[in-house]
C-alpha cells in the first residue's frame, strides 16, 4: 500500500510510500488490474517504482473507478451476473451514504440522509450476500456428495466383477488390473481372468489386445480375418458384461457406446505384423496414416508388456510367457527402429 492516492484525489500532503499490513476484513473490493512488484520492496527504489506505477494507474482510471474483478468473466463463477448487477447498482447509494455519515457524524444523521428506500436497498444487498454464501455452501456439499456416491457405485461394480470382496479387500482380478494403465484395466483384467487369452495363439493375443488400444477414427469397414472373428466376439461379450454391471449398479454409462469403443481397426494390421508381414503390406490394410500405425503399435507393445506384468503378479507363468512372446513378435522393423533416419 502507499499514501500517494490521497494526493491524487486532491489532498495536499506530500506522498510518502509505505508498506502497511492489513487484515482481510479491511479489503472491500479487489481490482482486476495487477501491478508488478519489484523483488525488494523494503528499499526506497522499489517503493518509489510501486508508487509511480500506482499513481499512473489511479491517474488513468480515477481513484473511485478502478475496474473490479467480475465473478463470471474473471473468476468463472457462473449464475452470479444478476447479483453482481444488483450490488453494483447499489454502490452509489452506499458511497453517498458513507460520505454523509462522516459529515453528520451520527447514526441519526445517516438515516436522515439515506432515507427509507436506500435502507431497503442496503437490506437487499445483505440478503443477496447471505444467499450467495448459502448457495456456495450447497454447491460444495453437493460436489462432495456426488463424489462419495460415485465412489460407492464404482465399489459396487468392482465387487460384482470380482476385483474386491464384500469387505473391499483386493482380489486376484483387482491385483491384475492394478498393473495396467495404458488401456481399460477392467476390460483387460476381465479378459485375462476369464480365460479369453488361454486358448489363443501368440498372434491372436496381439490382435485381441489391439482392440484395447485407442486409435483414430477411420472410414474403412474392417472385415477381420476368420481366425479373429471368435476372439472378437468374446471381447465384445466381456465389454457388454462390464457395461451391463456398471449400469445396473447405477453408474451413468451408455453400454452400447462402451462396447463400440473397443474397435477392431488394428486387428488385421497387428495380426499380420505379428506373423511377419512387411510394413508396406500392413499399411495397405487400413486407411490410417503410417505415423498413426507406428504410434498405435508401440502403445500396443506397452500394453502387452503390462499384461505380462499382470500375469506375473497373479502367478500365471504360462500366460505371462505367452504375453512375452506376443510382445517379441511385434518388436521388429521400422515400427521399433530407434530412428527413422539413422541406422544404429
- Provide mean pLDDT across the span 173-197: 93
Q: Check whether 57 has a pLDDT greater than 60.
A: yes
Query: For residue 65, what pLDDT band results from cuts at 50, 70 and 90?
Result: confident
Least confident of 131-135, 234-238, 256-260, 337-341: 337-341
Q: Decide which of 77 and 124 is more confident.
A: 124
Phi, psi of 273 (to 5 degrees): -65, -40
Residue 32 reports pLDDT greater than 50: yes
**pLDDT for the residue numbered 4:** 43
Cα 234 from Cα 195, distance rounded (Å): 10
Q: How far is CA 207 from CA 38, 52, 220, 330, in A?
A: 61, 69, 18, 11
Please tell me the distance from the alpha carbon of residue 48 to that of residue 61, in angstroms, as a whole number.
Answer: 20
- At 93, is the pLDDT very low, low, confident or very high (cuts 50, 70, 90)? low
How sure is the predictor about 86, in pLDDT bands with cuts at 50, 70 and 90? low
Q: Is the pLDDT of residue 270 over 80?
A: yes
DSSP string, 248-312: HTT----HHHHHHTS--TTHHHHHHHHTT--HHHHHTT-SS-HHHHHHHHHHHHHHHHHHHHHHH
The 3-state DSSP class for residue 314 equals: coil
Cβ neighbors of 219 (< 8 A, separation 6 or more) are: 287
When the pLDDT of each residue in the chain is averaged and rounded to a whole number, the result is 81
Q: Is the pLDDT of residue 109 over 70?
A: no
The rounded distance, in Å, linking the Cα atoms of 109 and 102 is 9
Closest CA to 236 of 274, 267, 273, 268: 267
Comparing CA positions, the residue from 110, 143, 165, 176 lying closest to residue 316 is 176
Q: What percent of the chain has pLDDT over 90?
A: 46
- CA-to-CA dists, residue 13 to 224, 262, 274, angstroms: 87, 75, 85
pTM for the model stands at 0.58
Query: What is the structure's pLDDT at 307?
Result: 96
CA angle 171, 173, 178 (to 5 degrees): 95
Cell of 70: 467480475
The three-state secondary structure class of 97 is: helix
Assess whether pLDDT exceeds 50 at residue 50: yes
Cα–Cα distances (Å) from 113 to 92, 124, 331, in that order, read 14, 18, 86
pLDDT, mean of residues 132-136: 81
Q: How confident is the model at residue 107 (pLDDT cuts 50, 70, 90)?
A: very low
Confidence of residue 173 (pLDDT cuts 50, 70, 90): very high
Amino acid at each position: 500500500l502507499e499514501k500517494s492516492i490521497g494526493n491524487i484525489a486532491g489532498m495536499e500532503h506530500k506522498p510518502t510510500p509505505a508498506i502497511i499490513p492489513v487484515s482481510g476484513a479491511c479489503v472491500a473490493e479487489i481490482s482486476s488490474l495487477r501491478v508488478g512488484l519489484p523483488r525488494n520492496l523494503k528499499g526506497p527504489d522499489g517503493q518509489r517504482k510501486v508508487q509511480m506505477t500506482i499513481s499512473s494507474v489511479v491517474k488513468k482510471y480515477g481513484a473511485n473507478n478502478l475496474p473490479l474483478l467480475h465473478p463470471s468473466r474473471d473468476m468463472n463463477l457462473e449464475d452470479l451476473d444478476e447479483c453482481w448487477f444488483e450490488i453494483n447498482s447499489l454502490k452509489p447509494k452506499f458511497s453517498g451514504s458513507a460520505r454523509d455519515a462522516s459529515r453528520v457524524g451520527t447514526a441519526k444523521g445517516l438515516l436522515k440522509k439515506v432515507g427509507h428506500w436506500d435502507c431497503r436497498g442496503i437490506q437487499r444487498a445483505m440478503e443477496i450476500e447471505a444467499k450467495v454464501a448459502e448457495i456456495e455452501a450447497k454447491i460444495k456439499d453437493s460436489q462432495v456428495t456426488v463424489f462419495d456416491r460415485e465412489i460407492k457405485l464404482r465399489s459396487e461394480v468392482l465387487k460384482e466383477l470380482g476385483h474386491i470382496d464384500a469387505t473391499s479387500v483386493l482380489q486376484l482380478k483387482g491385483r491384475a488390473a492394478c498393473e495396467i494403465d495404458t488401456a481399460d484395466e477392467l476390460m483387460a483384467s476381465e479378459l485375462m481372468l476369464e480365460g479369453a487369452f488361454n486358448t489363443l495363439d501368440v498372434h491372436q493375443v496381439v490382435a485381441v489386445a489391439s482392440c484395447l488400444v485407442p486409435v483414430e477414427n477411420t472410414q474403412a469397414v474392417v472385415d477381420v480375418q476368420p481366425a479373429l472373428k471368435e476372439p472378437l466376439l468374446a471381447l465384445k461379450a466381456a465389454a457388454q458384461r462390464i457395461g451391463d454391471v456398471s449400469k445396473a449398479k447405477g453408474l451413468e454409462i451408455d453400454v452400447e457406446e462402451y462396447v463400440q469403443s473397443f474397435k477392431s481397426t488394428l486387428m488385421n494390421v497387428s495380426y499380420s505384423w505379428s506373423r511377419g508381414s512387411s510394413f508396406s503390406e500392413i499399411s495397405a490394410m487400413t486407411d490410417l496414416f503410417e505415423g498413426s500405425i507406428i504410434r498405435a503399435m508401440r502403445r500396443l507393445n506397452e500394453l502387452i508388456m503390462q499384461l505380462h506384468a499382470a500375469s506375473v503378479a497373479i502367478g500365471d507363468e504360462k500366460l505371462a510367457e505367452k504375453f512375452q512372446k506376443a510382445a517379441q513378435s511385434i518388436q521388429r522393423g521400422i515400427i521399433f527402429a530407434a530412428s527413422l533416419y539413422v541406422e544404429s
